Chain A
């Protein structure tokens, strides 16, 4: 990167190093499910905010999928205007407490920050998190104070969201604060999508963060109906017949992929979705106080290299595994997980089994997993996209003992709603096709966004899609720009 700071720090002084965020010590945290990163103190946040150069043409904002006015909120924070900072973030991002924690900032805002050229970028994610947490803690009611400026909700202008992940929550927030009545239908018994059943408590506390955001929506008269399955309990047509004027589909891409190798149905082999759902949604970490059980593994292997794999591996450690290995086909440099998660995982003792690919699982007489055969890989020549794809090293396989295998190699679109709604035009990969500008599907007044459109992506992209669709829905229902 050749970018130079547009405003040199006074006196050409060297830029201070990035302020570290305190964490629970690795030794302690692998024994609990409490949040790993503890967040900045006021002093730390102010110090970090002051590192920002307040660029005239802020690159960070361009790196943000929803264009949070990053420079402005950091400027407000540096001056001690917490409320202003919060409102600035909220103007384009409805879930700052979540995004500050889970966005891959190194590829987005922080990756684009001009300070990269001089060392470390501003810790934008940590500041966002600080603003959201502090603001919500200061005044839980004020958090909802959008109310004061909110028009009354018009019970006739009804919109339904199917699924309650970040895409739908964004739609609900945007429309309800503009006087439109939103009802969110969720198939599971809890609201929040992957934020609740996928991302673990130690990374995103459910009651402290997700539940608060949902509560805020409730006071904006958003109704949440759980245990209602689109395509089974009701159809998209039913919603229109009941008087909903528009429907937003945000059902995610939840169907887990497996590896398609021998032994995959042995007991002890789980999809990451099952493993994490048992622990997060079912609170299996508190078994037997909670009833949902989780399989106990001593030598755990996790397959994949994304955030999901990291979450599964770190969960297994916390549940008492003796060894946890992440088996990944490429090298450390290609691991797609957030950097912070990878660092935290390694600090906690997760072992990376790189350049290895599973070829078969083995079990005992009772059908229980006992081991895995791995194929050694190497990186081949770069392909058309410039990515070096892994190729097997002929004849080089080895065995690892493992009694719990968690497969985190991606997901596919969930068929339930799609099969029940054949009018929806799908892409070649089976996801819902939408108009890029409006998010509208091939069915009039039916919109879609998030993972069900893009395939497994990120929280912020799902929110961006929700916002685009919500804008169009509002325009249609209320007219104007």
Chain B
């Protein structure tokens, strides 16, 4: 059943967009930490994207994506009023949320949007949520306003210092952990190197650290094992056992290598796409 795009916002033109999609059946069940698998068109690939927000009353879910290759480029060609051919969810185990005190939610790049839903969940559960977000520069910073609307603190770092702290999110995180002993959990969503760095930063403090893994997926319902990751020496399927795991136990190096499995094909697919669209076909 195709699902209609109600709103599209180009957050970073040509790079990152936000879609609000009419999907009451998913919105009704979506919890923080869940994702969807979608397919843009008949010949398209199934790709996973995190549910960045859900409005059960309006019957909508929000996704935010970074244009990486063929599938996200195809998605980017759609506009409000267009439909997504296949949309399946909510998938994955929801974030484990309980009232625990102070929770730091770290987000990097597009991961900020994905983290937003989790932060909101912690806020609703009565936790003091500190958002720590980072981007290369101010123009590339996502969801600052959305997070500011409910997080008592939003700490920002940029690589170039154009906004907030000049440096990395882990600098802010370390400072905070050194001074604030009330932090009960750190949640990190973002690029693999960032999540690995966050886990390394929190380890000496012994603070529970949850990361949301973005391994390659096919079905998203536990049938293929494409998404397998090593956690504490055990193989787990990110789509059904995760996507969130204990950051101190994840083998990030393996994840990084597995994410590169299809690099040559991805390039071929993207080039094919560019050739076709330039030639006027679609």
Contact = CB atoms under 8 A, between A and B. Distances in A.
A271 B266 contact: no
B44 to A, nearest CB: 5
B45 A189 contact: no
Contact of B223 (A273, A282, A291): A273
Interface in B195-244: 218-219, 221-226, 228-230, 235, 237, 240
A197 B219 CA distance: 10
Contacts of B223: 197, 254-256, 273, 277, 414
A197 B224 CA distance: 11
Most buried by A among B39, B88, B223, B230: B223
Contacts of A187: 88, 219, 221
B86 A227 contact: yes
A445 interface: no
B123 interface: no
A293 B240 contact: no
B219 A367 contact: no
A287 B89 CA distance: 26
Interface in A393-415: 414-415
Nearest to B262: A293
B173 interface: no
B260 A267 contact: yes
Interface in A207-232: 225-229, 232
Contacts of A290: 43, 45
A452 to B, nearest CB: 12
A316 to B, nearest CB: 16
Given A273-B223, A366-B257, A282 B228 contact: no
A377 B89 CA distance: 45
A265 B25 contact: no
B224 A274 contact: yes
Given A229-B221, A274-B226, A415-B240, A292 B46 contact: yes
B22 to A, nearest CB: 14
A188 B261 CA distance: 23
A310 B119 CA distance: 48
Contacts of B221: 187-188, 229, 232, 254, 414, 416
Given A187-B221, A255-B222, A367-B257, A293 B91 contact: no
Contacts of B25: 228, 233-234
A293 B268 CA distance: 10
Contacts of A189: 39, 46, 85-86, 88
Interface residues of B, number: 45
A33 interface: no
A228 B265 CA distance: 29
Q: Tell me whether chain A's interface is mostly helix, strand or loop, or mixed.
A: loop
Contacts of A414: 221-223, 240
Contacts of B260: 267, 366
Most buried by A among B85, B86, B219: B219
Given A293-B262, A415-B240, A367 B254 contact: yes
Interface string B77-101: 0000000011111110000000000
A329 interface: no
Interface residues of A, number: 45
Contact of B29 (A197, A233, A274, A283): A233
Interface string A176-188: 0000000000011
B228 to A, nearest CB: 6
A367 B228 CA distance: 14
A126 interface: no
A314 to B, nearest CB: 19
Contacts of B269: 287-288, 291, 293
A6 B165 CA distance: 92
Contact of B222 (A227, A254, A267, A289): A254
B1 interface: yes
Given A187-B88, A265-B258, A282-B218, A288 B46 contact: no
Given A189-B46, A293-B269, A414-B221, A265 B228 contact: yes
A339 to B, nearest CB: 28
Contacts of B253: 367
Contact of A227 (B70, B71, B87, B230): B87
A184 B81 CA distance: 28
A119 B226 CA distance: 46
Contacts of B254: 265, 367
Contact of B235 (A234, A264, A268, A291): A264
A296 B89 CA distance: 30
Contacts of B70: 291
B176 interface: no
Contacts of B29: 232-234
A256 B230 CA distance: 16
A187 B228 CA distance: 20
A258 interface: yes
B21 interface: no
B124 interface: no
A294 B265 CA distance: 8
A287 B265 CA distance: 9
A415 B242 CA distance: 13
Nearest to B241: A415
A330 interface: no
B26 interface: yes
B225 A273 contact: yes
Contacts of A254: 221-223
Given A256-B223, A289-B272, A368-B257, 17 more contacts: A227-B88, A255-B222, A256-B225, A265-B230, A267-B257, A274-B218, A274-B226, A277-B218, A287-B265, A288-B272, A291-B43, A292-B45, A292-B218, A293-B45, A295-B262, A366-B257, A416-B222
13 contacts: A188-B221, A189-B39, A232-B221, A233-B90, A258-B225, A258-B235, A266-B257, A267-B257, A270-B225, A273-B225, A283-B43, A290-B45, A291-B70
Interface of A: 187-189, 197, 225-229, 232-234, 254-256, 258, 264-268, 270-271, 273-274, 277-278, 282-283, 287-296, 366-368, 414-416
Interface of B: 1, 25-26, 29, 39, 43-46, 70-71, 74, 85-91, 218-219, 221-226, 228-230, 235, 237, 240, 253-254, 257-258, 260-262, 265-266, 268-269, 272
